[in-house]
Structure 1
Amino acid sequence: MKYQKLITTFLLLTICHVGVPAERVNNPSSNDPKATQETIHLYRNLLKIPSKGILFGHQDATLYGIGWKYEKDRSDVKTVCGDYPAVYGWEIGHIEQEAAYSLDSVYFSTMRQEIIKAYKRGGINTISWHCDNPLTGGNTWDVSSKEVVKSVLPGGKKHALFLTWLDRVAQFLNSLETEKGIKVPILFRPYHEHTGSWFWWGKNLCSAEEYKTLFQFTVEYLRKKEVHHLLYTYSPDNVSSEQAYFERYPGDTYVDILGIDMYHHGGKAQVQQYINSIHTVFGFLTPVGKRLQKPVVFSETGSEGIPMNNWWTEVLLKNIEAYPIAYVLVWRNAYDRPRHYFGPHPAEHSATDFVRFYQNKKTLFQKDLPAMYK
């Protein structure tokens, strides 16, 4: 058993190192040989940022919040602590359908403006894509078929359709450009939480090889479409081991950033379970990130309705501050669902604790950001 465990560890480490160019050992960079200079600088600065602290992020931070939508320069986070997040999360589901607005009812034209504004502030933008089910015509949560991933891969009956979807993604991403012609660097996070089975690309809906091929094909296709300002983030849902984390890993040449999506469910009753998961995941991701010279991020987290007054300082910060995490992002504050919020807002019971979280020298917000693109 002892030797079997050693062999398993050796094989896993070998898998993790496949495709790492030798020149990256002393000169870490994006995997895209045509990456823009701003994207390369962002990558290198994300590797350095843990020595200063952990960047704080919020999904759809400047688009809407509790009781408001599309108000200029507003943010629930800013209203509470006087500062913007350092990281801004966005969702482009329905872009593949040429819709005017996303699955969260955000106009893409408005989203584009806010992404560019966040970049000009010096902030960091990360994008997820909950695309519809191309085989059934259902939404991203339609898991009625185990043939969806296979159908979009080369040779599949929905491959041609999926190429048009990727074309639309590429068009939107390439439109994220300043008036000076600078493409806004994006941390792109496709096909996330694949270790669960609630999306059509989930664990029980496709084989490991099919998932890897989907991720790899997407990266290669977007590069062919001249999208060279992306850093690709790999973000499984909560897992209990390093082996489970890397089971569907597409390879070092396709992944720039190691992330994890992990939520605190169940309120106070399950707080210790959440804390244990944090230490398990970041316990094994920390040495892997260092070895592979890839930033490690808490790509999604939070607790809906924030069940504890001291959640920010005693649950989140207290348990992540020891790890070299580049950023932590909490999910959105829905404008039309009063209990569906993951960030603070002025009338919320944990707002005072969030101010303490903000004031802690370990947390970094907009005003704390160094020049990330230089």
Structure 2
Amino acid sequence: MKKTMAILIASFWVGTGCSSKAQTIDTKSSLSDKNATPETKVLYNNLRGLTNTGILFGHQDDLAYGVNWKYEAGRSDVKDVTGDYPAVYGWDLGGLERKSDKNIDGIPFDKMRQYIKEGHSRGGIITLSWHFDNPLTGKNAWDTSPKSLASALPGGESHEKFKSWLDEAAQYILTLKDKNGKPIPMQFRPYHELTGNWFWWCKNNASPEEFKTLWKFTLDYFQKKGIHNLIYVYNTADFKSKEEFLEYYPGSDYADVLSFDKYQYNDPTKDNSFIENCQSQFKIMDEVAKEQNKIMAFAETGYEAIPYNKWWTDTLMKAIGNYKISYVLVWRNHGWQEKEKKMHYYAPYKGQVSEKDFVDFYNLDNILFEKDLAKEKIYKK
């Protein structure tokens, strides 16, 4: 059971404290997919209500591997530390476009399917990203050759290839079903960090209209393929103004969740810029979310190797502040990187310097892990 940490909560959270089920759902809010499955609509509406209760914690690749282990049934670094799983599981579809049997992180797609089903069966939420290859050059997602995005659009030289890639993803997504054979409702975050300059789909590589066309084509194409179980997440990197946040935005009819990614790089005990920048971006995004009646999320964040022992309850909670976001997800626990000669992980493991603080973070009343989420019965009306 969660322990009350009144001082921390008073400092970082202003909420109603009542159950999400008691909240009135705004009927004006609807999914971008007008033919979304009933289960997907229920999840979306319950996620909206749950923002009045707390913030879901998520972790990328959580069930597949951790620091110094891989593919151990039921294991999770997060669970090793807290005794509980994350509420949100992040997975990546990169590799499907090449018909690979493994994704970009080396996880066999067959295993990933089982992990997705497992997390969902316990009441967890699934979010998908896609680091897919450059359709123009065939190189990886980080190849920003000019006109790469435009080549994928209708009439472009890579369009037919790009459609075949969407077919591969659609075919896989259609296999993600629950124990009753129904499609698992999931969040899908395509073309993430679009305001950056490091992926072939980023804003430096396309005009706003080209990006919007790609986004809309992708959503429409998936729906024509019979996919109606996705909640679509619009995701940026840095932005300085409302205008910049919305410059490439496909419109409220083509997005369900607003989010951004931001990582800690400098020592937070000496540099407050991470907190300040997050607060600035949340303020802007919150204004848009309220205007358009959208959910917000902190879709990716973290501090590599978490060297600051109070990062969770101090830095991260201050970065989020009082904003009512749906979830915060930290990146994967790869462990030792031989090429870079360093550790690469974003959630603590047993014995890690921030382990105790992560348990304190877990015990905050407004931070929700899988056991908390299961009580909410988020997949039921």
| TM-score of the two chains, using structure 1 as the length reference | 0.91
Q: Deviations over 1:25-44 (max 9, x none)?
A: 63422121211111101111
> Which residue of 2 is the match for residue 169 of structure 1?
169
In the alignment, which of 335, 354, 363 is matched to residue 350 of structure 1?
Answer: 354
Matches within 5 A, 1:204-215: 204-215=204-215
Give 1:347 shift. 2.2
CA contact (8 A) 1:119 1:184 kept: yes
The amino acid that maps onto 1:361 is D
* Matched-pair identity in %: 47
> Which residue of 1 is the match for residue 317 of structure 2?
317
> Which residue of 1 is the match for residue 118 of structure 2?
117
In the alignment, which of 335, 355, 379 is matched to residue 373 of structure 1?
Answer: 379
User: Hey, what's the Cα distance between the residues in 2 that align with 1:142 and 1:27?
Assistant: 40
User: Hey, what's the Cα distance between the residues in 2 that align with 1:278 and 1:169?
Assistant: 32
Give 1:267 shift. 2.6
Query: CA separation of 1:46/1:188 partners in 2, compared to 1, >3 Å: closer, same or farther?
Result: same
The amino acid that maps onto 2:38 is Q
Which one is further off, 281-290 or 345-354?
A: 281-290
**Number of corresponding residues:** 350
Give 1:83 shift. 0.5
Query: CA separation of 1:248/1:205 partners in 2, compared to 1, >3 Å: closer, same or farther?
Result: same
CA contact (8 A) 1:310 1:353 kept: yes
The amino acid that maps onto 2:355 is A
1:231 aligns with 2:231: yes
User: Hey, what's the Cα distance between the residues in 1 that align with 2:308 and 2:239?
Assistant: 24
CA contact (8 A) 2:113 2:176 kept: yes
User: Hey, what's the Cα distance between the residues in 1 that align with 2:150 and 2:92?
Assistant: 24
User: Hey, what's the Cα distance between the residues in 2 that align with 1:258 and 1:270?
Assistant: 30
Give 1:318 shift. 3.1
User: Hey, what's the Cα distance between the residues in 2 that align with 1:212 and 1:136?
Assistant: 21
Give 1:101 shift. 0.1
Q: Deviations over 1:148-183 (max 9, x none)?
A: 111110001110100100000101111101231111
CA contact (8 A) 2:89 2:124 kept: yes
| TM-score of the two chains, using structure 2 as the length reference | 0.89
> Which residue of 2 is the match for residue 220 of structure 1?
220
CA contact (8 A) 1:146 1:204 kept: no
Give 1:269 shift. 6.5
User: Hey, what's the Cα distance between the residues in 2 that align with 1:27 and 1:157?
Assistant: 40
The amino acid that maps onto 2:263 is Y
CA contact (8 A) 2:39 2:379 kept: yes
> Which residue of 2 is the match for residue 136 of structure 1?
137
Contiguous gaps of at least 5 residues in structure 1: 1-23
> Which residue of 2 is the match for residue 274 of structure 1?
274
Which one is further off, 26-35 or 364-373?
A: 26-35
Contiguous gaps of at least 5 residues in structure 2: 1-24
> Which residue of 2 is the match for residue 35 of structure 1?
36
The amino acid that maps onto 2:379 is Y
CA contact (8 A) 2:336 2:343 kept: no
User: Hey, what's the Cα distance between the residues in 2 that align with 1:134 and 1:318?
Assistant: 40
Query: CA separation of 1:52/1:27 partners in 2, compared to 1, >3 Å: closer, same or farther?
Result: same
Runs of 4+ in structure 1 off by over 6 angstroms are none
> Which residue of 2 is the match for residue 73 of structure 1?
74
> Which residue of 2 is the match for residue 147 of structure 1?
147
User: Hey, what's the Cα distance between the residues in 2 that align with 1:49 and 1:271?
Assistant: 33
Matches within 5 A, 1:183-332: 183-268=183-268, 271-332=271-332
